Structure 1
């Protein structure tokens, strides 16, 4: 089964790392953490992830 690519968009570093750690424990591959919406849009266009988790205020 191919690895599912997950992009995490979170502006708080500590929370983003916790999300990544929890996803990895469940066997998922978080290939990048992005801290801004604009950067996330560019990255999605470039890498075509399977899932984008977004939590920005």
Structure 2
């Protein structure tokens, strides 16, 4: 995967060792990884990620 600008979740631990990170790809998809396994990257499109987040928010309400 080309060099991406990874952004850590605002819910991450202060030590930075247990973080979810996201980055936009050149094809406008979203890449996700866990800081403990940075080589393992999941990519998805923005629509699917938005649907997942909306579903999780409704389930926690």
Instruction: Mark yes or no: TM-score above 0.5.
Output: no
Structure with the higher fraction of residues in helix conformation: 1
Question: TM-score under structure 2 normalisation?
Answer: 0.29
* TM-score calculated relative to the size of structure 1: 0.30
Identify the structure with bigger relative contact order (alpha carbons < 8 Å, sequence gap 6+).
1
Q: Larger radius of gyration, structure 1 or 2?
A: 2
